[in-house]
Structure 1
């Protein structure tokens, strides 16, 4: 079952929202984990106070209690300040996300306006096309363009055949080392520079291999394709010029029918979409930077968290306190055993919290990388106008199983994007629909040059003006006659999305992840 372009982009955006929701949830869980670890540390400190009351004399108790209390106060104040910093970073992040969502909604409205303008323009161009079919002047130009295109095609075919003959029939010459030695040195021509002895010896070799008879044949094999190619290029240039005249004639007819204001309105709508896309990139990069700042605040190597934990850990790890704990373990009293067990439980819980925090931080880094990759794909998707209502995708798994595989790291971003490219089609009736044989004006029906994009491939700049001219293969002559309908700007996953900040290196290898995806 196929899916439409707008629906496909909406599915990618929903996946993006899922990633961001999980990122936000991880940030909240990391903040809570920091609070839990701080409270467990305080609980451990209180347990050591109780143990000291049971086993130490009052003067030593007061000294130990003062040390622990001082460390607790410093840690509590540090964590309080840190908590406010996290709260502020989360608010900043939420603000950027709200702005991004607002831009996405604005873009959807702008795309709807663009589709409306395009539809009105297409309707007019179809009416003009019907009139042009009965216009003798247009028919004459189209017939001439078709004839020139046919001649250009025949010239190209002859050139390819001559080039194939050169490769096939020239192989025996190239495989003969003596012949090719004489050929490379220009023997028998004015380019030859051998001395008397060399000339004498080369003459013996030439007689041995029959060079005098073979050289003109090999020269002709090489010369004919070059001359045919020059001729084919001239014919292709003439055909291209004829198509340009035909396009100009059709565009003038469209302008006379009122097409210019419609074209300008469509161009303005397109510019609005492009401006919003640029704003989305900026908003995403700002949000990315804010997310990185929040991740740094929640990081295990954050100096604020480290200093807060270290101060209390140092107080609880001093030799006299460790001696106190060791002695309590050696004695067998009910109260001692209860407190020691509670200290062990607190330390076990702290280790579990720290391990979970490490896992969450790893997951956050993976999600950030996956989000950037999905941003790359969305950018390419919109850049190629795949969200045009006339764009469809044959493979609905792109927003199902394949999307899940990408999010889980089963396939790379490059491979996932390549699946989109291969599945994409333009619906019949758009100038890039079925039967299009030229890419002279760009890679999608929303991209135009100076003239009109004719919706039926038969008029103007759409490239199909030469009647039944067969499609040209890539590398053909005339500048824009290479084949291909929906160009994606290359294969292999090379993404072109601009990045306005140093938000980390984009990776496309795919991460093996668990969690919510």
Structure 2
């Protein structure tokens, strides 16, 4: 079962929404957990005050109570401000997410318009293709292009045979160290430089290996492929020029039938999509920064909140409080037992909260890494124009098992992207029986009934006028605007700020999304 480009991008977008939604939920849980921990410490401080009133001399109680109360008061006031900051950060993320959703909807709408214009141009192209089959001048031009294409292909085949001969038949020469010594020295040519003594001994070596007879043969083996390659390139240029003339003829025919406004509108829509994509990147980076700010708040890295909670924790770890608790455990009364049990319960809850918080923090790091990697993949996907309606993928598990493997850390982002690239193809429609044009990649349409077409493939490098259809070359690149990207290696998505690193981590997760 094949997967169409727009459907594939929609599946990636859905996975992205799931990741962001879980990120937001975890950040909120972490923020609430930090607040719960602070409140547990407040209740623990109150319990110690109660214990002090029971166990300590009244003259000692005010000093201890004052220390706890001041730390507790600062923590309580800071907690109020912290909660407001968390709410503000959550609103900022929600607003940015709404902006991004709006841009995605704009993009989808533009892509729908693009599909409609492409279909209209496809129909017009088919009409003109049928009409041109009865045009003698066009048919003559097409025959010329076909003949030049065949000549170019024959030249390439001869060149490849000569290169094979050079490798196979030249091996005995290259394996002979004496012959290669004379060859590298330029013996027997105007480039040979040596004194009389060396010349004398080189002459003896040359007679020994029959160099004067072997050198022309080896020179021919090396020279012929070069000359044939030059000839083949000239023939290829001639064939491409003939195809360009054929393309111009067809383009003019479609223009006269109303195709130019459609092509111009397609270009405008593509520019709009490129602009929307740039806007999405900006929003994603701003959202990434907002998510990091919320995460800092959630993990208690706000300086004021951190200072207040640290002071309260330090107050609860005072030596006199430890002594007080130890004394209460030794001389237990019913009142002591109640307070001690509540302190123990508060500390047990604190440990549980700390354990869950560590797990949630680790999960949040994994999610952030996956989100950035998926943003990179989405960017490359759109830049390669894989979401074009004519783009398809042979493996539907790209949005099933393989997507789950990637999200769980089973495969890397680069490996997952390679699966997409290997699976991608451009759908070819229309009759191929009449398509007898040149066999080299061209700018032809996948819908042409014969020869080249006025409608370009997304990367303007191949199409239906060619029986030897190729995919976009190189690594990443070839976006809506036709700009070139990196030719392999890493992802090319631009990023801003400190969160812009694309160091793809090796996080592994035990569960699914």
Superposition TM-score, scaled by structure 1 size = 0.90
SS at match of 1:58: coil
Given that residues 413 and 493 in structure 1 are in contact (C-alpha distance below 8 angstroms), is that contact kept between their aligned partners in structure 2?
no
The answer for the alignment partner of 1:69 in structure 2 is 69
The Cα shift of 1:337 comes to 2.7
- 5 Å matches for 1:369-408? 369-408=369-408
The Cα shift of 1:500 comes to 3.1
Given that residues 2 and 393 in structure 2 are in contact (C-alpha distance below 8 angstroms), is that contact kept between their aligned partners in structure 1?
yes
The Cα shift of 1:508 comes to 3.5
How far does the alpha carbon of each residue in 1:448-479 deviate from its partner, in whole angstroms, 9 at most, with x for none? xxxx8563273236688998x763xxxxxxxx
Unaligned stretches of 5+ residues in structure 1:
442-451, 472-482
Change beyond 3 A, Cα 1:301–1:338: same
How far does the alpha carbon of each residue in 1:246-299 deviate from its partner, in whole angstroms, 9 at most, with x for none? 111111111111211111112112222222111111111111111111112223
- 5 Å matches for 1:464-503? 471=468, 484-487=470-473, 489=475, 494-503=490-499
Change beyond 3 A, Cα 1:188–1:488: closer
Unaligned stretches of 5+ residues in structure 2:
477-486
Given that residues 462 and 470 in structure 2 are in contact (C-alpha distance below 8 angstroms), is that contact kept between their aligned partners in structure 1?
no
How far does the alpha carbon of each residue in 1:133-160 deviate from its partner, in whole angstroms, 9 at most, with x for none? 1111111111111111111111111111
The Cα shift of 1:437 comes to 5.8
The answer for the alignment partner of 1:445 in structure 2 is none
The answer for the alignment partner of 1:111 in structure 2 is 111
**C-alpha separation in 1, matches of 2:143 and 2:442:** 20
**C-alpha separation in 2, matches of 1:173 and 1:166:** 10
The answer for the alignment partner of 2:152 in structure 1 is 152
| Structure 1 range deviating more: 492-501 or 359-368 | 492-501
| Structure 1 range deviating more: 413-422 or 11-20 | 413-422
**C-alpha separation in 1, matches of 2:239 and 2:112:** 38
The answer for the alignment partner of 1:203 in structure 2 is 203
Given that residues 32 and 298 in structure 2 are in contact (C-alpha distance below 8 angstroms), is that contact kept between their aligned partners in structure 1?
no
Change beyond 3 A, Cα 1:91–1:513: same
The answer for the alignment partner of 2:509 in structure 1 is 513
How far does the alpha carbon of each residue in 1:82-101 deviate from its partner, in whole angstroms, 9 at most, with x for none? 22111111111111001001
- 5 Å matches for 1:61-460? 61-429=61-429, 438-441=440-443, 453=445, 455-456=447-448, 458-460=451-453
Given that residues 415 and 492 in structure 1 are in contact (C-alpha distance below 8 angstroms), is that contact kept between their aligned partners in structure 2?
no
How far does the alpha carbon of each residue in 1:321-371 deviate from its partner, in whole angstroms, 9 at most, with x for none? 221112112223232233222212211211221121121111111101101
How far does the alpha carbon of each residue in 1:75-128 deviate from its partner, in whole angstroms, 9 at most, with x for none? 111122122111111111111001001111111111111111111111111111
SS at match of 1:59: coil
**C-alpha separation in 1, matches of 2:208 and 2:363:** 76
- What's the Cα RMSD here? 2.4
The answer for the alignment partner of 2:16 in structure 1 is 16
How far does the alpha carbon of each residue in 1:416-436 deviate from its partner, in whole angstroms, 9 at most, with x for none? 12222222232232799xx99
SS at match of 1:392: strand
In the alignment of these two chains, the number of paired residues is: 493
Change beyond 3 A, Cα 1:373–1:287: same
**C-alpha separation in 2, matches of 1:222 and 1:198:** 27
The Cα shift of 1:302 comes to 4.1
Superposition TM-score, scaled by structure 2 size = 0.91
